Amino acid sequence: MPRPFALPDTGPGRRAVRTAGAVAALAAVLLTGCGAPGAPRQDKPAAAAADGFPLTVENCGVRTTYEAPPSRVVTIHQHPAELLLSLGLKDRMIGTAFPDSAVLPGLSEDFAAVPELSAKEPSFEKILDAEPDFVYGGYASAFAENDGRSREAFADAGIDTYLNREYCGKKKVSMQDVYDEIDTIGGLFGVRDRADALVADLRGRVRTATAEVDGERETPVFVYDSGDKSAFTAGGRSLGTEIIRLAGGRNVFADLDDVFGDVSWEQVVARRPEVIAIYDYAGAGSVEQKKEFLLAEPALADVPAVRNKRFVVLPLTATLVGVRAPRAVEDLARDLHPQRFR
């Protein structure tokens, strides 16, 4: 069957499988975390170290004791960088790597101010040249042993590391993991108050969105990550599935017992999704290419989502353990149940 193009079967999504008053005070903290104009400068690491250190953190089987918060940080992949920036830690960041989507608008200026070490995962030597004391990885590939970037290699060089908890071998990822990640990173950097305020804000966003769609019929949603001969989609163990549920939808492949997996197009047709959520990230074709592919596939012509051209876009970074996931619930709820937000 002819197709307009062949979508790659590799990328961050597939790598995830193979290799995660009071209102005013809260607003002030969050504005500081996002680098708002006129916001006060962050606490210096030395001042933060006076409270709560030494601190021992266990992360993916690696136990590290910090005598003080990290002060020279390299992030690999975008979602760790956005989390640190949301906590107001720009001045401790000396390098980023592997941006894979547009940065959150409120963080774009601060993100641009941090040097980009590499468009992909940087070499071990490139990271060493930046002289960090801490490397924070988003995907397991950040610390790929076959690329010379094992956590052991960094430890031997006197550099502490932390891997996003989504890649610690967990079998299922939830929104609680988002809140726990922020809490852990906030403690590790000596900014627990900022982490508490950020978590409170994000929890509030999710509560508000779910309340708006409460009582609505769940909209059947098919997640399209990539694939041509088969569809690579989000399974029931993914954070994407929870985002869909909280937004008033139902992942039609929630019974797929994995974070991601391949399904046949015949299965997609049989489950009759009313909305298709397209995961957007570099390296797997543009959103428009994916739409064109789905619309041009004769076998999908009678699928309600295709027939009615009901597509929504989710940046892949919005489905990872980071600050975007709760915001994605808000955005998706509006897309699935627009009548509730008029």
pLDDT digits (tens, 9 = 90+) for 238-287: 999 999 999 999 999 999 999 999 999 999 999 999 999 999 988 788 99
331: Cα within 13 Å, side-chain hemisphere? 13
- Both 234 and 189 in a single domain? no
- Both 255 and 186 in a single domain? no
> What is the model's pTM?
0.84
Structural domains in the chain (count): 2
List, as one string, the DSSP characters of 155-196.
HHTT-EEEE-GGGSS-S---HHHHHHHHHHHHHHTT-HHHHH
CATH code of the domain in which 310 resides: 3.40.50.1980
The last residue of one of the domains, among 169, 204, 239, is 204
- Both 195 and 314 in a single domain? no
The last residue of one of the domains, among 160, 183, 204, is 204
- pLDDT tens-digit series, residues 312-340: 999 999 999 999 999 999 999 999 999 99
What span, in angstroms and rounded, lies between the C-alpha atoms of 130 and 236?
40
Asked whether residue 7 is domain-assigned, the answer is: no
- Both 246 and 200 in a single domain? no
What span, in angstroms and rounded, lies between the C-alpha atoms of 277 and 286?
13
- Both 31 and 79 in a single domain? yes
Beta bridge partners of 135: 74, 161
Q: Which domain holds residue 320?
A: 216-341
- Both 31 and 112 in a single domain? yes
- pLDDT tens-digit series, residues 51-104: 899 999 999 999 999 999 999 999 999 999 999 999 999 999 999 999 988 899
What span, in angstroms and rounded, lies between the C-alpha atoms of 323 and 313?
17
- Both 53 and 168 in a single domain? yes
- Both 59 and 200 in a single domain? yes
Asked whether residue 159 is domain-assigned, the answer is: yes
- Both 268 and 143 in a single domain? no
pLDDT above 50 for 1? no
- Both 49 and 96 in a single domain? yes
List, as one string, the DSSP characters of 86-122.
HTT-GGGEEEEE---SPPPGGGHHHHHHSPEEESSPP
Closest by alpha carbon to 101, among 238, 280, 233? 280
Asked whether residue 12 is domain-assigned, the answer is: no
- Both 41 and 153 in a single domain? yes
The last residue of one of the domains, among 157, 184, 204, is 204
Q: What is the pLDDT of residue 320?
A: 95
- Both 73 and 181 in a single domain? yes
Distances (CA, A) of 217 to 6, 19, 132, 213, 327: 35, 36, 50, 9, 21
Place of tokens 């508490």: 196
